[in-house]
Structure 1
Amino acid sequence: MEYLSVEEAKDRNGLRLVLTAGVPGPFGEAAKALFRHHNVDFLPVRQIGGRDNPELIEWTRHRNAPIALYNNEAPRVRWLELIELAERLGSGSSLFPDAMIDRITMVGLINEIAGENSLIWNARILMLHETVLAVGEQKARRNPMLQDYQYDQGSVERAKQKVSETIDYLTNHIKHLSSDYLIGDRLSAADIYYAYISNVFAPQPHEINPMPDTLRRSYEVVPNLLGDVDSVLVEFRDRIFEKHLETPLTF
C-alpha cells in the first residue's frame, strides 16, 4: 500500500486515514474495511508502529493508528467514532443492526473485543510480556506501547484470565448463533472487528494475511499460552472473510 507522509497529508482534503505502515494492525484493517464497505475513498497516511511519531502528534495530538481525519473536522480515533463516520460519509447497508437491543449488544460486544481492557488489549499485554522476558524490561520500555497498555508484571495473570474469559464467551456465543453473523441477520461492525482481531488468538495463514514474521511470532503468544481455540471461532472468521472482506490483506 502506498502511503502519504504526514506533511503530504496535511495539505489534502477528504478522508485521510492514518495506518501503521507495513503491518496488518487489527484496528487499522477494521477501519479500512468499514470505509470500504460504505464505498468511502480514503488516503492512507503513514504511522510507524511502536515509535513516538512526533510529527503525527503535532498534527493530530495522537501517536497511534488508526486516525481518521475528514476535511477540517477533529481527528477520530475510537472505534465507535470510526463506525459512525463511515456510516455518515458512505453508502450501502448500515453496519448497525436494525433493532435497538441488537445495536446495544453490538456496541457492548465490540467493546469487549476492541475497547480498553478488552480481548485485544489484554492479548497485547501478554505479547509485551514476552518481549520483556526476551530483552529485559528496561530495553522493552523503549516501546511506548508498554506505557499505553499500562504494562507491569502484575497485569500478566489478569490479562491471561481476561483473554481466556472472552474467548470462552465468543466460543459459546458463536456455537449458539441462529444466523451467519454475530448479531442480527446481516453483517455488522461486530463481525468486522472480530474477524481482524481474531488474529491475536488464531493467526490467519500467510496466503491470506502475509504479516511480517516478527508480528506472526507475537500473534502466536496467546495460542502458545492458552492452547488452540475451538474450531468454530476460526470457521466463523473465515466465512466472514470469504463473504465480505478483501483477501489477501494489503498493508
Structure 2
Amino acid sequence: MPFAYIDVETAVQRDGLRMVVVGGVPSPWSEAAKGILHIKGIEWAAVRLAYDSETLKQWTGELSAPALMVGQERPRRGWADILLLAERLVPAPSLLPEDPAERALAFGLAHELCGESGLGWSRRLMYARHLALPLSL
C-alpha cells in the first residue's frame, strides 16, 4: 500500500498517529506494524527513518523503526506495545483472543517469533553475520 512520507518536523507538530518506518527497503518489523494498522483500519502518517536526524532521536528516544507516536504519549517501539496500542485505539476487530489462557498463549508464541532472541531476531543476526563474512572463491 503506497503512502506519502512527512518530514520529522511536521510529524512532531502533528496530532494523530505517526509511525517511523524504514524507507526504500522492506523491514519485517515495520511491515508487521503496517499490517496491524491496516487490519485495524487505523490511519497514520509515515515518517522515514533517518539515522542522522537529531530531531527524530529526541522525539522517539532512539533511531530505530518502527516507532509509533500518538499525541504526546510515549513512543511505542516493541511489537507488543505496538499491538496493544492498536488494540486500545480500535478495539474491533481484535487481533488478540479474549480468553486469558489463549491470550497468554498468543503472546508467548508471538514473543518466540517477534521478541528479542526470537526467530525473527535470530534470523536477522544470522543474515547480518553472513553479509559480514569475507567472500572467498
Please report the TM-score for the alignment, with normalisation by the length of structure 2. Answer: 0.89
CA displacement at 1:102 relative to structure 2: 0.9
Which structure shows the bigger proportion of residues in strand conformation? 2
Kept in 2, the 8 Å contact 1:39–1:92? The answer is no
What's the offset of the Cα at 1:104?
Answer: 0.6
Provide Cα deviations, 1:201-242, integer angstroms capped at 9, x if missing partner: xxxxxxxxxxxxxxxxxxxxxxxxxxxxxxxxxxxxxxxxxx
Report what 1:124 is aligned to: 124
Shift of 1:98: 2.3
Q: What residue in structure 1 maps to residue 47 of structure 2?
A: 45
- 1:89-100 residue pairs with structure 2 within 5 A? 89-100=89-100
CA distance in structure 1 between the partners assigned to 2:78 and 2:102 by the alignment:
20
Unaligned runs of 5+ in 1: 136-251
Counterpart secondary structure, 2:18: strand
2: distance between equivalents of 1:58 and 1:97?
A: 36
**Residues 55-77 of structure 1, C-alpha deviations (whole Å, 9 max, x = no match):** 32122111110001001111111
Match of 2:34 in 1: 32
In structure 2, the residue matched to 1:78 is 78
- The reply on whether 1:23 has 2:29 as its aligned counterpart is no
Q: TM-score w.r.t. structure 1 length?
A: 0.50
CA shift for structure 1 position 92: 2.6
Larger radius of gyration: 1
SS in 2 for 1:18: strand
Quick one: which amino acid aligns to residue 10 of structure 2? E
Deviation (angstroms), 1:134:
3.7
SS at match of 1:27: helix
1:84 maps to a residue whose letter is L
Q: Which runs of 4+ in 1 moved over 6 A?
A: none
Structure number with the higher helix fraction is 1
Q: Secondary structure at the match of 1:116?
A: coil
2-side partners of 1:134 and 1:89: how far apart?
47
Q: Which amino acid aligns with 1:113?
A: L
Equivalent residue for 1:63? 63
Separation in structure 1 between the aligned mates of residue 27 and residue 105 of structure 2, nearest angstrom: 25
Q: 1:52 to 1:116 in 2, by over 3 A?
A: farther
- SS of residue in 1 equivalent to 2:46: strand
Q: How does 1:45-194 map to 2 (within 5 A)?
A: 45-48=47-50, 51=51, 53-134=53-134
- Equivalent residue number for residue 11 of structure 2: 9
1:55–1:131 distance in 2 versus 1, CA, 3 Å: farther
